[in-house]
Every structure is written in C-alpha cells, then in structure tokens.
C-alpha cells in the first residue's frame, strides 16, 4: 500500500467502524491540499453491507481522471477486481451498496489545481443503492429475519461500462400478499428509474419468474406498509453476454469477463455448450490465469473454473482449475458441457480464454484391407455428401439410408502405412467441410486401423482452419505437432531401416558377383 502523502498537519484517511458516519476531503469545504493521498477503510459488522453516498463533489477534471481522483472499492483497496469506479470533475459518484461488510475509498490530488473536494456519508445495512458488478446478490432488509415495516428500497443495477441485458433470479420469496399486491411488494423496471417500463409487481410466497431486462439497467423496488411482514426475498443478478452464455454452434470461443484485463470479484458466471445428440464437446484452454491454490489445503478454494458433463452442476465433474496452468484439452461424455467461473471477494487475475469444437458422432471400423466410416445424416444435416471425404475430395461419402458412408480400400484415398509403438497401422485423414461463403472451416479427424487386430479408432486433430481461428488452432496444431513428431520419427526410422536393408542386399549382391567372377578367373 502507498504511504499517506498528506501535507504537514493534514490528517486524512483511517478506519471507519461505526454503524454510520461521515468523512470528507482534507480542508473541506475549502480547497484540498496538493499532493495528497488518503485511504478510508469502512468496516461494519460481518454479514452487513455498506451504503455510501456523496452530498458534495468537486475535483479537478480530466477525461481519464489522471490528475485528481476518487476511487471506490467494493472491499479492500487496490484490488482491481473490487474497483467500482474512478471519479473526478463535478459529477458525484452514484450511491454505492457494497457486496460485503468492507468498502474502501481513496482520494488523491496532484501538484496543480485544487478544488473544494467532497463530502460523503455511509451507513450499515441501509437498503438499496447502486450495484455495478457483472453479477451480485440483493436481499430485503434483515433477511432472513422479518423485514421492517414502512421500508422503501431501490436497487439500481447496471454494469459500470454499459454491458448486456441483465437477468434477475429470485431464490427465496415471502412477502405479504394481497389483491393487486397493494400492501407489500417488489416491483421491477426495465431501466434505471421507476419511469422505465414495468416488468412486474410481485407479492405473496410464489417466487417471481426469471426476469431479463432489454437494456443494461434494471431497477428493483421493495416497499412494505405499516403492518404484517414476512421473511422477504433473496435474489441474484448477472449480466448476460459476458457472464452467462449458451452456445449451440459446432465450434466457438469465449473468455472470462473483461479478458485480458482483470476479471471482477464476486462472480458466478456460466457458459453452457449444447450440441446436437451424439456430439461430444472438446474444449481447448488457450490461456488461463486465476487466483492460485490455497496454501492451507492445496486446493482451488478461492477463484476457480469448473467443468461439468451435461447442462447442470450436478453433472459429472470433468475438472476444477485455478492458478496459472497449461491445461490439456477436455472432452465431454455427452453432447452438453457446462463451465462455471467462481470468483471471491479479492485478488483478481487476467482470467481465461477457451475455444471449443464439437466432436462429430461417427462409427469407424476396419478389416485387413478396408476402412468403413458411418456418420448419421442428422448430425450433419446441412452438409452435402461431397463435404465429407477421406484423404482427397474424390473419396467423398455416399448417402445410404440415414447415414453418410465411406467404404474404401487401404491403397486409395491418401491412406498411408505407419509404425507406432512398433505396431504397423494404416492412417488417413477424414475431412468435414463446414465452410460457408468465404469463411473456410474444415474439421479434420485422424482415422487409423491396426489391420492385424481389425481395430479402428478416430481422433479430432484440427478444428477450423489454423489461419483463421489463430489462438485455438495454433494450440491444437502444436499438440498435433507434438503428437505427430514421434510418429514422424517412427515413420522415418522405418524408412531408414528399409534403406539400410536395401543397401545391405545390394552390397551382398556385389560381393557375390565378385566371388563368382573370382572363382571363374581361378
């Protein structure tokens, strides 16, 4: 942390632990001193939240607030994942509601131009306020205890830099009921104020439906009358697009919010990949840097990324990762894969970038002389048969019944013999061309057969064209090169042994000729 650079005799900053209080810039309402830095840490009882508001605000203006500025943090200072905003000029910051019981405010002035500064007030457990994260939680006052009478709370939710539509989900709801919800109620508005179109008004004990705003702002208004209360409500919100996405295309890529800049704290983001039946999902980690493992348990207890088979968290866990790791690709067991990013209250990092490719369902078998490949037409319904071929376009699939079929001999269709782990195998490449317009997109699968055992296998070796999806495919290609180098060496050693054998035969032949000629001459 930085030292307090206050001028001699100027006291500023400190820890504020009372349930409510006020603070202001040094000398307020007079001009603040030059070259000053102050940090206020507001700490209230655990389980409570802090509502911070500004009654006066005037700092030197700069478009990027590079001279004099005020920063508000949702938690400890100087953690970029906690930064709610940086402010200067004459526009006061909005009221902020913290996601937990700690909030920090930093004020800094440079050596030129001093203004009147600011005055701020905070209070514990006040309801409502401005929420600017990509995801967060709101509860009625005193939840899960009964809420107070005559309460009126307004939560204005909106991502700091705009963002996508917001989704609000209620996980618990018990508010006094009544005809038309005239007593106690929760009202939702499609914008930052009650003047925006109303999305719904709810009371009673039935949970309101999942609500999605059309703009990057949502207002939640809670009102109670003079008698009869209830447990209240608990809800969470998230910004769709950056923090909640569903993918149904055969390939795609996505990254953590704000990547490659630091992701926000207090997130729970979900990416759900849903492909047609029969497909499997293969994900490639292009880059990953999350908060590291716990020094106590050695586990990913803080920020972590988890993958589940299927579309829900109760599916089979495919992996849980954190820190800075280079990860091998992961393939689902079914046609759905769910990725969830959890981030805690502090220590944000760069995040991750991921690409995925759908593994096409196919049946590959072989005899001692032939490959048999079968792919359900419904899996590739939009493709013509000539878009699916083995080795060369002349070996295209035929449509037989409900399947694309390729039946070829080993001596055709670019098939070659290789030696891997001292075993002779037959190898070829199956191409599936998903290209549309001028966007080339050819997926490649290596098919191989061990003729002695009549055993065949298939592996996805490259998704879209390497020149196009640079990062993802570079990574795939690198793995191919790694996997392929040993194969190439083995093939080369096989080729070299053939050359040596032929050379020995020629040498033996020459020696025999010399011996015969010698005998004749004798």
- Largest pairwise CA distance in the chain: 131
DSSP assignments along 312-353, one per residue: STTS-EEEEE-SS-----EE-SSSEEEEEEEE-SS----EEE
Distances (CA, A) of 153 to 182, 199, 349, 496, 499: 16, 17, 34, 81, 85
Phi, psi at residue 517, to the nearest 5°?
Answer: -60, -40
pLDDT tens, position by position, 201-235? 999 999 999 898 988 899 999 999 888 888 999 88
- Residue 443 CB neighbour total at 10 angstroms: 21
> 363-474: CATH homologous superfamily?
Zona pellucida, ZP-N domain (2.60.40.3210)
pLDDT tens, position by position, 222-278? 999 888 888 999 888 877 566 778 899 888 999 998 888 888 777 788 899 999 888
Determine which helix (DSSP H) or strand (DSSP E) holds 374, and give its type and residue range. strand 370-376
Burial of 469 from C-beta contacts in 10 A (0-12 / 13-18 / 19+): buried
Q: What is the mean pLDDT of the chain?
A: 83
Token representation of residue 298: 């050695």
Say which range, 1-5, 202-206, 451-455, has the weakest mean pLDDT.
1-5
pLDDT at residue 69 tops 90: yes
Closest CA to 59 of 87, 86, 36: 87
CA distance 98 to 363: 55
User: What is the rounded average pLDDT of the residues 291-303?
Assistant: 91
CA distance 89 to 63: 9
Name beta bridge partners: 102.
Answer: 43
Higher pLDDT, 47 or 472: 47
DSSP assignments along 206-217, one per residue: SPPPPEE-SSSE
What strands, in cross-sheet order, belong to the sheet with 20-24? 20-24, 117-124, 50-58, 96-97, 129-131, 152-158, 217-223, 185-189, 198-202
Q: Which residue has the tokens 């037409």?
A: 377
Predicted confidence at residue 505, as pLDDT, reads: 52
User: What is the rounded average pLDDT of the residues 130-145?
Assistant: 79
Q: Where in the chain is the domain with CATH 2.60.40.3210?
A: 363-474
What strands, in cross-sheet order, belong to the sheet with 351-359? 251-255, 351-359, 280-289, 330-331
Predicted confidence at residue 464, as pLDDT, reads: 44
pLDDT at residue 470 tops 70: no
Record: fold of 130-238: Jelly Rolls (2.60.120)
Predicted confidence at residue 235, as pLDDT, reads: 87
Could you tell me the pLDDT band of residue 465, with boundaries at 50, 70 and 90?
very low
CA dihedral 509→510→516→519, nearest 10 degrees, is -140
pLDDT at residue 400 tops 90: yes
User: What is the rounded average pLDDT of the residues 277-281?
Assistant: 91
CA distance 276 to 361: 10
Its sign, for the CA torsion 451, 456, 457, 462, is positive
Token representation of residue 144: 């899960």
> 13-126: CATH homologous superfamily?
Spermadhesin, CUB domain (2.60.120.290)
Closest CA to 324 of 298, 288, 360, 281: 288
Looking at 377-441, which runs of residues are DSSP E strands?
388-390, 398-400, 403-409, 416-420, 423-433
Predicted confidence at residue 157, as pLDDT, reads: 87
Token representation of residue 120: 């701020």
Say which range, 341-350, 473-482, 500-509, has the weakest mean pLDDT.
473-482
pLDDT at residue 495 tops 50: no
CA distance 207 to 484: 56
Q: Which CATH class is domain 244-359?
A: mainly beta
Token representation of residue 323: 């820190």
pLDDT tens, position by position, 326-368? 889 999 999 999 999 998 877 888 999 999 999 999 999 999 9
- Residue 103 CB neighbour total at 10 angstroms: 28
Token representation of residue 451: 């003729």
Phi-psi region of 422 (alpha: psi -120 to 50; beta: other; left: phi over 0): left
Q: Where in the chain is the domain with CATH 2.60.120.290?
A: 13-126, 130-238, 244-359
Predicted confidence at residue 503, as pLDDT, reads: 52
Higher pLDDT, 125 or 372: 372
Could you tell me the pLDDT band of residue 78, with boundaries at 50, 70 and 90?
confident
Predicted confidence at residue 357, as pLDDT, reads: 92
Token representation of residue 43: 């700490």
Predicted confidence at residue 438, as pLDDT, reads: 84
Token representation of residue 347: 């220590």
Higher pLDDT, 62 or 267: 62
Q: Which distant-in-sequence residues (6+ apart) come within 8 Å of 203 by Cβ? A: 175, 176, 177, 178, 181, 183, 184, 185, 186
Determine which helix (DSSP H) or strand (DSSP E) holds 339, and give its type and residue range. strand 336-343
Predicted confidence at residue 216, as pLDDT, reads: 86
User: What is the rounded average pLDDT of the residues 56-62?
Assistant: 94
Determine contact, residues 340/318, Cβ cutoff 8 Å. no
Compute CA 396 distance to the chain's CA centroid, rounded to the nearest angstrom: 38
Predicted confidence at residue 475, as pLDDT, reads: 34
pLDDT at residue 5 tops 50: no
**Coil, strand, or helix at residue 23?**
strand
CA distance 408 to 429: 13
Predicted confidence at residue 198, as pLDDT, reads: 94
In a 13 Å sphere around the CA of 140, the CA atoms on its Cβ side amount to: 32
Could you tell me the pLDDT band of residue 107, with boundaries at 50, 70 and 90?
very high
């Amino acid at each position: 942390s930085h030292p307090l650079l206050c001028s001699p005799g100027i006291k500023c900053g400190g820890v504020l632990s009372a349930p409510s209080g006020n603070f202001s810039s040094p000398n307020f309402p007079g001009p603040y001193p030059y070259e000053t830095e102050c940090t206020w840490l507001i700490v209230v009882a655990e389980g409570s939240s802090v509502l911070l508001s500004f009654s006066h605000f005037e700092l030197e203006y700069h478009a990027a607030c590079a001279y004099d500025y005020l920063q508000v943090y949702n938690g400890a200072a100087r953690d970029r994942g906690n930064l709610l905003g940086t402010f200067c000029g004459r526009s006061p910051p909005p009221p902020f509601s913290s996601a937990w019981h700690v909030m920090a405010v930093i004020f800094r002035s440079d050596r030129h131009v001093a203004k009147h500064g600011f005055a701020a007030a905070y209070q514990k457990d006040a309801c409502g306020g401005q929420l600017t994260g990509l995801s967060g939680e709101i509860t009625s006052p005193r939840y899960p205890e009964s809420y107070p009478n005559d309460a009126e709370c307004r939560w204005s939710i909106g991502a700091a830099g705009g963002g996508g539509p917001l989704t609000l989900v209620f996980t618990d709801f018990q508010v006094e009921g009544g005809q038309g919800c005239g007593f106690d109620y929760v009202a939702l508005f499609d914008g930052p104020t009650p003047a925006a179109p109303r999305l719904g008004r709810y009371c009673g004990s039935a949970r309101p439906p999942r609500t999605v705003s059309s703009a990057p702002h949502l207002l939640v208004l809670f009102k109670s009358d003079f008698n009869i209360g209830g447990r209240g409500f608990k809800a969470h919100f998230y910004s769709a697009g950056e923090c909640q996405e569903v993918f149904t295309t055969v390939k795609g890529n996505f990254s953590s919010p704000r990547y490659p800049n630091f992701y926000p704290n207090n997130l729970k983001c979900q990416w759900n990949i849903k492909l047609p039946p029969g497909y499997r999902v293969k994900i490639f980690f292009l880059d990953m840097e999350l908060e590291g493992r716990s020094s106590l348990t050695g586990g990913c207890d803080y920020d972590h990324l988890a993958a589940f088979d299927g579309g829900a968290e109760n599916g089979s866990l495919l992996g849980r990762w954190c820190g800075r790791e280079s990860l091998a690709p992961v393939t689902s067991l079914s046609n759905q894969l769910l990725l969830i990013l959890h981030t805690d209250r502090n220590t944000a990092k760069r995040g991750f970038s991921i690409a995925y490719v759908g593994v096409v369902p196919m049946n590959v078998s072989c005899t001692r002389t032939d490959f048999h490949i079968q792919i359900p037409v419904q899996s590739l319904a939009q493709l013509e048969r000539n878009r699916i071929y083995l080795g060369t376009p002349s070996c295209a699939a035929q449509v037989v019944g409900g399947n694309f079929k390729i039946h070829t001999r080993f001596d055709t269709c670019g098939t070659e013999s290789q030696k891997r782990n001292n075993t002779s195998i037959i190898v070829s490449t199956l191409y599936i061309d998903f290209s549309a317009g001028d966007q080339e997109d050819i997926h490649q699968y290596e098919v191989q057969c061990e003729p002695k055992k009549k055993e065949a296998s298939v592996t996805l070796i490259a998704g879209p064209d390497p020149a196009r999806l640079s990062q993802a495919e570079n990574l795939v290609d690198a793995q191919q090169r790694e996997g392929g180098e040993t194969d190439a060496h083995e093939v080369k050693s096989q080729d070299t042994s053939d050359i040596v054998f032929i050379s020995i035969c020629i040498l033996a032949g020459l020696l025999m000729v010399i011996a015969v000629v010698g005998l004749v001459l004798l």
